[in-house]
């Protein structure tokens, strides 16, 4: 027989999984918008992600409370899965273990998707930075003298590439 505290924790784990899945879907949906430099769409999806993260925060509080109730019931101090699983019956373990594995898997997928999106954004920012720096080179016809931070006259800078298409 499965204790009510185990059933409650299972329900909270299901909610957490569903929220993480929604986050993964949003992050995945955001990637082509980042690549296409559709900033309004990226911002709109970022707003949805922020809303989902706030919802997940509430879900995580409920999950933590359910894990604490189970730990208290079993006389455990820790609420970590590694501590809880040792105090579960076979049926209880069978009910919770697959849920924990699903959550761990979707979190790994979400971390990877976030890393990819983050790198795409960093690449776009690097291109913008390079473009701005290439456009910010002083024109020798109007500013023939450039100086170092120490005040010495600087030699002619190396020719920098000119990048005009910042959405590339």
**Residue 30 burial by Cβ neighbours in a 10 Å radius (0-12, 13-18, 19+):** buried
Q: d(Cα 32, Cα 102) in Å, to the nearest integer? A: 26
Whether residue 162 lies inside any domain: the answer is: no
Q: d(Cα 100, Cα 94) in Å, to the nearest integer? A: 11
Whether residue 43 lies inside any domain: the answer is: yes
CB 20 within 8 A of CB 114: no
Which among 5, 16, 1 is positioned nearest to 100, based on CA atoms?
16
Tally of domains within the chain: 1
Tell me the residue range of the domain where 17 lies.
4-135
And the tokens for 113? Answer: 């998707």
Q: What CATH number is attached to the domain comprising 55? A: 1.20.58
Whether residue 168 lies inside any domain: the answer is: no
For residue 159, is pLDDT > 80?
A: no
Look at the alpha carbons of 93, 91, 6, 22 in this order and tell me if their dihedral is positive or negative: positive
Whether residue 34 lies inside any domain: the answer is: yes
Q: What is the pLDDT of residues 80-94, one digit of tens each?
A: 898 898 999 999 999
Q: What is the pLDDT of residues 38-83, one digit of tens each?
A: 889 999 999 999 999 999 999 999 999 999 999 999 999 888 898 8
Which among 160, 158, 157, 166 is positioned nearest to 134, based on CA atoms?
160
pLDDT at 79: 87
Whether residue 146 lies inside any domain: the answer is: no
Q: d(Cα 76, Cα 70) in Å, to the nearest integer? A: 8
Whether residue 152 lies inside any domain: the answer is: no
pLDDT at 37: 85
Whether residue 140 lies inside any domain: the answer is: no
Whether residue 62 lies inside any domain: the answer is: yes
- Range ranked top by mean pLDDT from 4-18, 82-96, 126-140: 4-18
Residue with tokens 């209880």: 92
Q: d(Cα 32, Cα 121) in Å, to the nearest integer? A: 11
């Amino acid at each position: 027989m499965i204790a009510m505290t185990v059933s409650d924790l299972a329900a909270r784990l299901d909610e957490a999984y569903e929220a993480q899945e929604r986050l993964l879907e949003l992050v995945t949906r955001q990637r082509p918008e980042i690549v296409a430099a559709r900033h309004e769409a990226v911002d709109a999806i970022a707003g949805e992600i922020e809303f989902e993260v706030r919802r997940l925060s509430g879900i995580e509080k409920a999950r933590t409370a359910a894990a604490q109730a189970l730990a208290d019931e079993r006389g455990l101090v820790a609420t970590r899965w590694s501590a809880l699983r040792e105090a579960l019956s076979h049926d209880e373990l069978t009910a919770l273990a697959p849920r924990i594995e699903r959550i761990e898997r979707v979190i790994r997928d979400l971390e990877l998707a976030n890393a990819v999106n983050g790198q795409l954004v960093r690449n776009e920012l690097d291109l913008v930075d390079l473009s701005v720096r290439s456009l910010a080179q002083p024109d020798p016809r109007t500013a023939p003298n450039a100086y170092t931070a120490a005040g010495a006259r600087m030699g002619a800078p190396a020719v920098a590439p000119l990048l005009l298409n910042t959405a590339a």
